[in-house]
Amino acid sequence: MSVIRRPAMRVVMVLPYALIVLVIVVDVLAGSAILLSLLAAPAALASATGRPRSVLLVGVLAFVVCIGAFVADEGVTEERGAVALSAVALVALAAAYASDVRLKAERRLVGVQTVADAAQNVILRPVPRRSGHFDLAVSYISATVGARIGGDLYEALPHPGGLRIIVGDVQGKGLTAVGAAVTVLTAFRAAAPADDSLQEVAEHIEEALERREEGEEFVTAVLADCTERGDVTLLSFGHPPPLVRRAGGTVLTAEPEVPGPPLGLPGGLAALHEDGPGRFALRLEPGDRMLFYTDGTTEARNAEGEFFPLPDHTDLLGEPDLADALAGLRDQLASHVQGPLDDDAAMLLLRFAPSTDGT
């Protein structure tokens, strides 16, 4: 798996032959083998993209041209010719070996990436486009180059009478953050489908985090219990509040008066109780939408250090297709940052869309 893009790769593949032609043309025009030493370079260039056999082919071609230049130019001494021929042969052999090593490394990388992709698909599974009376779409941008998962997490699971959602963000980065995200998602997937309260789901997650032997990461998260009637109960644990865009276009922030503490803090389980902070309730009407997101979205900075003004772009949430709405937000985010993100950014968009026949 080469990291060179296709147009650039074609140029690189042509360069060795172009260099050989250049040497021939310059030497013919000059009437002297003045570029003879450059004939060692084509094989080295070919090793960047070519297979060992094609690298050797370039080396043989350069060797033949070197012999021809040596024979044709009587001004080339035997010592210089021998040095040039030896250099071409040795570089060609070394380049072929380097090409073989590169190909083996690329095959190993492909295997590792395949396993990583499979693991990522298990950790962050695609959410259903439709669940009961709700339409859903998600977007995830990892700050780690080449990865599709980091410390951010999301899940949406059917529940008797509705849908349950979690969107969260693990403090920290790297594999330890991924491990904490797996712990949270596993606990949520085990507890959310059961006919337990949302409070009990949060307690199940807190217990799972307390059982971890390694890592001290805490997790900000928002849990949502959405009924088929459109009633939504939120539990916020130090997480950015969801945005609600009404069907008429007005926008409100689903923020509790007192946010709850993040999950995974020492003594966090004792702090969880039915009347604890972080609660918010609202009712959705048909066509209303809720955007859940992580702080990698709102804390993305531009060159001037300004945060991404997510509320200023909520008009994009009105797109008929939810995936298009999130794509528009991603485009605005990329335009704001003008470069790679410093943190993962996850977004989950929900639309309350009960069927017209009441089912």
Q: One digit per residue, pLDDT tens: the chain, 359 residues?
A: 344 455 566 667 788 888 888 888 887 777 676 777 788 888 888 888 889 999 999 999 989 988 888 787 767 778 887 888 898 899 999 999 999 998 888 888 776 655 555 556 667 788 889 999 999 999 988 765 555 556 789 999 998 889 999 999 988 766 677 788 888 999 999 999 987 888 899 999 999 988 876 656 789 999 999 999 999 999 999 999 999 999 988 999 999 888 888 998 876 655 565 666 789 999 999 999 999 999 889 888 888 889 999 999 989 998 999 999 999 999 999 889 887 777 788 899 999 999 765 45
3-class DSSP string for 307-328: ECCHHHHHHHHHCCCHHHHHHH
pLDDT score recorded for residue 49: 84
Asked if residue 198 lies in contact with residue 162, where contact means CB atoms within 8 angstroms, the answer is no
pLDDT score recorded for residue 2: 42
What is residue 50's DSSP assignment? Answer: S
Domain ranges in the chain? 6-119, 127-352
Say what the pTM is. Answer: 0.69
* DSSP bridge partners of 243: 253, 291
Distance of alpha carbon 148 from alpha carbon 133, whole angstroms: 29
Distance of alpha carbon 165 from alpha carbon 130, whole angstroms: 13
H or E stretch including 67? Answer: helix 52-72
127-352 folds as Phosphatase 2c; domain 1 (3.60.40)
pLDDT per position as a tens digit, 262-284: 998 876 655 565 666 789 999 99
Q: How far apart are the first and last CA of the chain?
A: 49
pLDDT score recorded for residue 275: 63
| Rg of the chain in Å (alpha carbons) | 30
